[in-house]
Structure 1
Amino acid sequence: MKKLISLILMFAMYSGFAQRGKAKMLPVLEKGYYINTRNDTVWGKVQTNPEDPTDLYKQFGFKNNRSKKPKMLNAQRAKAYGVGDKDYVSVELNGKKIFLQRLVTGRLNFYQYEYNGKIEGYAAIESDFYIKDTGADPSEADLKELKKISGLFYKRGLKPYFKDQPMIWSDLDKYNFDEVSVIAAVKEFNKFYSKTGN
């Protein structure tokens, strides 16, 4: 009987300890960097497995050699950060500072933002894409501003950015937005300007 009571008590204690807090994953850290508000590049390790994958667009965990665990940095405290082959830059959208993933850099910059949403009624991660022309003519200053590319009629939204190279724009599918095709088109466009120094 004592053994049975001891067994029940041990089980109850084990259950109580096991359910006390929500289990958290250990942070997975990879070599990376961030650029602070004084434009200093700080090298260390960036956490690549937040509980919510869309958190990488709001904040990131960073650990240097002196710290024991990652500290969280947001878009007010870091101008940019990078880990692996991904780079994120701080921007202000709708009065809020966030990070966008930089997909292509050059005369045309192309970015992605991921957030929690719904696709066909199911919880899913959705993406928005943004573009800007860093070398736009002063008469077209609005092209130098970050602009969201609509999934519907996306080709019409991209036309002013590709007006100097219309053949690249005309090769894009008219109806279906394809991230890989748009990235390839932006890279192709930028090749013309990396050679001439614009």
Structure 2
Amino acid sequence: MEAEAGGLEELTDEEMAALGKEELVRRLRREEAARLAALVQRGRLMQEVNRQLQGHLGEIRELKQLNRRLQAENRELRDLCCFLDSERQRGRRAARQWQLFGTQASRAVREDLGGCWQKLAELEGRQEELLRENLALKELCLAPGRRPSSPCPPADPATWAMEAPVLAAWAVPISCPWPAPQMTEDTASFVPTPARSASQAPG
């Protein structure tokens, strides 16, 4: 029984000689069937291994393509980062330049505005001065001893002596119904002369 359980390679020559011809043929065929089954199983295993190997090779090719695509995207992103960094640097330089320009422009505007305010103050002062002088002239023209509607010198020589420099400074055209008096070396006496314009008035 133990001899039947083992294979032909485990039998000795004496055991094989003791077996009959039919038993040897049966064992031989059984061994051949086992060997064929092992070969078939081995072929199936090889096919499975080859199939898995082809799958792995396909995955490797896909991974290589993905790696190349990722490398290309990496280069593009690196170039984009360099471009954005250069743009950021240029934007910062432009911002500093505009800030400097704004500071200088605001300083210039403040200076110009200060000059304008100073000129405006001077003009306001001049306007007030002109208003005061106009009021003084109006009071002189409406003073007693003159006609209210005529800006001519008064008939009183003493009043004329005080008002003549103001009228001459403003160069007001004077048209009087009577000749204007003229001062001589003696300021106390006046000599009547023909009427003349304010441009010829004594300074």
TM-score, reference length from structure 1: 0.27
Which has the larger Rg? 2
Higher RCO, 1 vs 2 (CA within 8 Å, ≥6 residues apart): 1
Structure number having the greater strand percentage: 1
TM-score, reference length from structure 2: 0.26
Structure number having the greater helix percentage: 2
